Structure 1
């Protein structure tokens, strides 16, 4: 079952994508149930822009997002590989390689729902 974004999730999405006006996927019309897939697929121009936006997150917000990823609540399956690569590198720099490795494994075990 897809999760419903919390106020914290929405705040993070608005931080990294201030142009986000509503919380619906423009392609499917379905409400967002994660932060990173819409950031990557709807708001970021490319991987460099994605990284620039991720760098806007505070350490607390990044740690919160990592907790969601590791618990399986935050989907990574629809995030393009090159975007995940820069995300994992950023996590490694900011939070350490051990956590980055866990995120990498979560991505490798994820699927994009059709």
Structure 2
């Protein structure tokens, strides 16, 4: 389900991609509707860079993102597998195996891609 990013979402997006200038997506011309796909697809140079960016998040911010994923408000299907693997590993390290397992289930069942 696509959404309009909240002030909290924008704060997280800016933390993950400080070079983002708050403009619309350069490719589609529309506002971002998710956090992780734009970071992975427009700002991170590779999977390792994506992980470094995600490591900037506090445990609370990461948990907030996972709650959005669980609610169907944050897209995962636009993440390449190698990028997802980095997010999965970081989630296990920061929030534990149960959180990582829930994230994996969400990734496997994701069928809508909105950036």
Same fold (TM over 0.5): yes
- 3-state DSSP of counterpart to 1:73: coil
In the superposition, the TM-score normalised over structure 1's length comes to 0.95
| In structure 1, C-alpha distance between the alignment counterparts of 2:43 and 2:92, rounded to whole Å | 23
- For residues 23 and 110 of structure 2, the distance between their equivalents in structure 1, rounded to whole angstroms, comes to 22
Indicate the structure whose relative CO is greater, using CA pairs within 8 Å and at least 6 residues apart. 2
Unaligned 5+ runs, structure 1 = none
Mapped to 2, the partners of 1:22 and 1:34 lie a distance apart of 13
Distance 1:26 1:112 in 2: 21
In 2, the alpha carbon distance for the partners of 1:78 and 1:30 equals: 16
**TM-score scaled by structure 2?**
0.94
The number of residues matched between the two structures is 114
Give structure 2 stretches of 5+ with no counterpart.
Answer: none
Q: Distance in 2 between matches of 1:98 and 1:6?
A: 27
Distance in 1 between the 2:19 and 2:31 partners? 16
